[in-house]
Amino acid sequence: MAELAEMAELLKLLGDPMRLAILALLQEKDLSVTEITGLLRASQPNTSQHLRKLRSAGLVRESKRGQWVYYSLNLAEYPDLKTFLSQLPGRDKRRLELAQLE
């Protein structure tokens, strides 16, 4: 029963469109809060709150590069989630937007 409760929490976490969008972006490239905020046209506090929840669940990890903190996916425990994220709509659009960051 504990495993089902854990899965239910994960599915609740993924039920938010903003968090799904963040995961979809991070599947393509490691990004800073500023980059995610700009791409999703969201506020920095809102983006940070969602990243904190994803990090607490172990889906996202952070690493410091100079003065910036970058976020990346951490899906080692959830290989099926990687496949799920690759099926989210808008992947080509995300790739174009991310290419403009370079």
pLDDT digits (tens, 9 = 90+) for 68-90: 999 999 988 888 888 888 888 88
Select 2-101's CATH number: 3.30.450.20, 3.40.30.10, 1.10.3720.10, 1.10.10.10. Answer: 1.10.10.10
Beta strands at 68-73 and 31-32: parallel, antiparallel or unpaired? antiparallel
**Two tokens at 96?**
């174009």
pLDDT digits (tens, 9 = 90+) for 25-79: 999 999 999 999 999 999 999 999 999 999 999 999 999 988 999 999 998 888 8
Contact 63, 70 (CB under 8 A): yes
Contact 58, 76 (CB under 8 A): no
35 vs 31: CA distance, rounded Å: 6
pTM for the predicted model, two decimal places: 0.89
